[in-house]
């Protein structure tokens, strides 16, 4: 197999749904290679720890694998595969974070005594974005970092399209009007 499978996600999903064992395995591997960085990026947003994000990556693709035959019924893509992967990766990252917290609690360490998760700023802009509410930041990130359409964001977050538009508008307005953010961009 070449390093870059030229088939579309739809074709790869169809191969996973109906292909023979070897063809399905190759198609799933191509989906994994194509989307692992995206899933890892999402997981890092919520887990803020590389190891927990890697656990979430594994759990996300294990979930996806279980959807395909023979274990599952298969997947019908009605939108981009990213709209399916985003909530799964987010939930897996949050679950990994909760599990890690429980283990820390059972070890006799209070949650407040845990060291803060390392904040890894891939870009200085991350500090600016943290000034937004979680809901606004999530919509803004999905739109401008993950390049999802407004309709796809509504689908991923399971909220009305109007709510997506409102959160995006308010996030942009806040970024424009916040004096500390203006100072950041003036540097």
* Per-residue pLDDT tens over the stretch 139-187: 999 998 899 999 999 999 999 999 999 999 999 999 888 887 777 767 7
Is 121-187 CATH 1.10.10.10? Answer: yes
Quick one: pLDDT band at residue 124, thresholds 50, 70, 90?
low
Residue 127 has a pLDDT of 75
CB-neighbour burial class of residue 76 (10 A; exposed 0-12, middle 13-18, buried 19+): exposed
Residue 3 has a pLDDT of 52
Predicted confidence (pLDDT) at residue 118 exceeds the cutoff of 80: no
- Domain 1-116 falls in which CATH fold? Rna Polymerase Sigma Factor; Chain: A (1.10.1740)
Handedness of CA 62, 63, 66, 68 (dihedral sign): negative
Each domain of the chain, given as residue ranges in start order, spans: 1-116, 121-187
Quick one: pLDDT band at residue 114, thresholds 50, 70, 90?
very low
């Amino acid at each position: 197999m070449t390093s870059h499978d030229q088939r579309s996600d739809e074709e790869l999903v169809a191969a996973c749904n109906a292909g023979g064992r070897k063809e399905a395995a190759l198609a799933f591997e191509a989906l994994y290679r194509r989307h692992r960085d995206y899933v890892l990026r999402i997981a890092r947003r919520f887990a803020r720890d590389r190891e927990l994000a890697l656990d979430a990556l594994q759990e996300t693709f294990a979930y996806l694998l279980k959807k395909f035959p023979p274990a599952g019924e298969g997947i019908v893509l009605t939108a981009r595969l990213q709209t399916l992967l985003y909530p799964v990766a987010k939930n897996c990252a949050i679950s990994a974070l909760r599990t890690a917290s429980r283990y820390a609690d059972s070890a006799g360490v209070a949650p407040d005594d845990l060291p803060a998760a390392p904040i890894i700023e891939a870009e200085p802009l991350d500090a600016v974005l943290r000034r937004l509410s979680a809901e606004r930041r999530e919509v803004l990130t999905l739109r401008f970092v993950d390049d999802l359409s407004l309709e796809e964001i509504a689908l991923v977050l399971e909220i009305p399209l109007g709510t997506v538009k409102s959160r995006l508008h308010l996030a942009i307005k806040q970024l424009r009007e916040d004096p500390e953010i203006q100072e950041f961009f003036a540097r």
